[in-house]
Amino acid sequence: MRKPFIAGNWKMNTNYTSALGLARRLVEQLKGIDTVDSAICVPFVYLQAVSSTLSSSNIALGAQDVFYESNGAFTGEISCEMLKDVGCTYAIIGHSERRHVIGETDVVINKKVRAAIAGGLLPIFCVGELLEEREAGKTEDVVVSQIRKGLEGVDPERVQAVTIAYEPVWAIGTGKTATAEQAQQVHAMIRSLVAEMYDKNIAERMRIQYGGSAKPSNTTELMANPDVDGLLVGGASLKVEDFSAMIKTVA
C-alpha cells in the first residue's frame, strides 16, 4: 500500500514573515496527522527559517530545485549538501516552469535527479505535456520520453527514492484541472512504464503525484484514482485553510 504524499510548491511566493506564518499555521493545522506524508517546498532563502518552524512537526521540508554539482564555481546554484544542511528532505526537479521558462533540458534534469539521490535527497521528479502536445495526441510520447531520459542511469535501488509528479502543463496555475480519468490514464501508463524499466514491485511502490490546479474541491475525486498517490499543489498550498483541508481530506 502506498502512503499518500501531498506536497506544496510555494514557487516564487511569500516573504520572510509570510513564509514563517504560513509554516507555523500549517504545523498547528496538521498536528497529529500521520497517515499522509506532507511536505512544503519553499524558496531557497526561507528554507532555514521554515526548517526550524517544522522541526517538531510531521511536515517535511523541500526545495524547488537543486544543482547537480556538490560545490565550486557555479554562481547562483545551490547544492544537495547545502539543502540537506538546512533540513531538506525533498527537492522538486524538472518542474515545468524550469523546463519551459528557464529552459532546463532532460539532460540537466537527469543530472539533478542522480545528484539528488546520491546526496540523500528525495526527488519529486516532474513530467507533463504542453497543451499543444495533448491536442496532437502526443501526451504519452512526451511523458514516456521525459521519464526515460530523466531516470536514465538511475539504478533500481536508487529509483525508490523518487516520487514522480505528473503535471500537465495546461493545468498548472490555470484553474483547469485534468479530469480524474485523464489523470488516472496517464498515471497508470507511468506505472507500467516504471514496471517495464525496472520491475513490477518497484512500480507498485512508486508514488505518483498529480499536479495542476489541485484544490480542496477536486482532491477527493483525483485521489480516488487507484494510481494517483498524492498531489503536488501550487496555488492552493499558499492558503493554509486550503492546503490543510486537502491533507485532512486525504487523511
Q: State the catalytic residues.
A: 95, 167
226 binds ligand PGA (CB under 6 A): no
Angle between helices 16-29 and 47-54 (to 10 degrees): 20
Among 9, 64, 184, 244, which residue sits at the site for ligand PGA (rule: CB under 6 A)? Answer: 9
H helix runs in 86-179, sequence order: 96-97, 106-118, 131-135, 139-150, 156-159
Question: Hey, what long-range contacts does 32-36 have (CB within 8 A, 24 or more apart)?
Answer: 33/58, 33/247, 33/248, 33/251, 34/58, 35/3, 35/4, 35/251, 36/3, 36/4, 36/5, 36/6, 36/247, 36/250, 36/251
Task: Choose between 94 and 198: whose C-beta lies nearer to ligand PGA.
Answer: 94
211 binds ligand PGA (CB under 6 A): yes
Over the window 180 to 199, marking each residue x when it contacts ligand PGA by CB under 6 A and - when it does not, the resulting string is --------------------
Least distance (Å) from ligand PGA to the CB of residue 195? 25
Residue tagged 506544496 (cell numbers): 8
208 binds ligand PGA (CB under 6 A): no
Among 120, 156, 173, 226, which residue sits at the site for ligand PGA (rule: CB under 6 A)? Answer: 173
213 binds ligand PGA (CB under 6 A): yes
Enumerate binding residues for ligand PGA (CB under 6 A).
Answer: 9, 167, 172-173, 211-214, 232-236
